[in-house]
Amino acid sequence: MIIEDIASEIVLPNIRGVLAHELRNRGLSQHRIAKILNITQPLVHKLLRMPVEYYVENLKRYSIDEEIITHQCRILADLAVSGSYARFVITSHGFVSYLSAVIACREFVELREECVKGLLKDPHIEVYKTMLSRIMAKPGLAKILPEVGSNLVYAPEPPNSEADIIGLTGRIVKTLTGIVITGEPFYGGSRHLAKLLLIIAKHNPSKKVGFNFKYDYSLVSRLDRKVYHVEHTGPHNDLNSFWRTMEEAAVRKPDVILDKGGTGLEPVTYVFTKDFYELESILKSLLQ
């Protein structure tokens, strides 16, 4: 069985099943779903007869993380209904290819050496993993993580959507024994921080990396205000108010946003940098 067989026989049928349910949950007709997925309407009807859990479990048998499946399918459904069909096609192709390569690496002994060498890996995700490990190893980092947890996002190229931004599908959290990373790095991971980096990058394309830590003015005061532009935002009445404020703040091209949170939102500090090395430099100042 080659990777294309894995895609057509294992990955694609189950991703179609999850997507069919995601699109139906958004109110789309079976006719519209069939057009988006490029399949017949009777096949859509057949896919919807089985619960979404059926398709998720089929992929989990191959050790595919459930968070990655559901999260990325939501991203794909969002792209499909927003009219970004070209982005939907490109992103879905990448997702199916990625899952197929992961399964191939895990299921076939003869491929494992090539997988270890990195021939079936995304170089941008490998860069992300390397820098995530370096950042997580910073002494004292746990002290500045917010209760809600942190995330790290990275846009290798100027992003057009959240699907262009790599982030953890889970989060970075502190525990009694140290820092724990949950989820996996993937395009479209961390919808909240990825969406925020997308807004920031729209007004300042040099920003490629985003990170969040606890709200603490004394920490941010350690940064040179002649070098870093800091914006103060919040509190917010609701999530819609939060995003409106972020759009307004992004116009002023901030490096750091001190956000007071609000209803359902923990106060958090966001930092945006041109690369991982600048983020490391900022963290060094904060953790002194």
Q: What is the DSSP string of 208-232?
A: -EEEEEE--HHHHTTS-TTT--EEE
Quote the pLDDT of residue 118. 52
Quote the pLDDT of residue 119. 46
Phi, psi of 116 (to 5 degrees): -65, -40
CB 230 within 8 A of CB 255: yes
Tens of pLDDT, residue by residue over 23-77, are 999 999 999 999 999 999 999 999 999 999 999 999 988 878 787 888 888 888 8
Quote the pLDDT of residue 117. 52
Quote the pLDDT of residue 271. 96
Q: What percent of the chain has pLDDT over 90?
A: 45
Q: Cα–Cα distance between 180 and 177 in angstroms, integer?
A: 9
Peptide bond into 235 cis (omega under 30): yes
Domain ranges of the chain: 3-117, 123-286
Q: Average the pLDDT over 133-153 and give the result.
A: 91
Tens of pLDDT, residue by residue over 115-139, are 545 545 677 888 999 999 999 999 9
Quote the pLDDT of residue 270. 95
Q: How far is CA 286 from the centre of its chain?
A: 25
CB 181 within 8 A of CB 167: no
Tens of pLDDT, residue by residue over 158-208, are 888 888 899 988 889 988 888 999 888 888 878 789 999 999 999 999 999
CB 238 within 8 A of CB 262: yes
Report the candidate in 182, 211, 217 with the shortest Cα–Cα distance to residue 283.
Answer: 211
Range in 95-109, 172-186, 237-251 with the lowest mean pLDDT: 95-109
Whether residue 264 is predicted with pLDDT greater than 90 in this model: the reply is no
Q: Cα–Cα distance between 155 and 286 in angstroms, integer?
A: 23
Q: Is the pTM of this model over 0.85?
A: no
Give the CB-side neighbour count of residue 279, counting CA atoms within 13 A.
26
CATH class (in words) of the domain with range 123-286: alpha beta
Mean pLDDT of the chain: 87
Give ∠ CA 44-48-51 in degrees, rounded to 5.
150
Query: Cα Rg for the chain, rounded, in angstroms?
Result: 20
Q: Cα–Cα distance between 104 and 177 in angstroms, integer?
A: 35
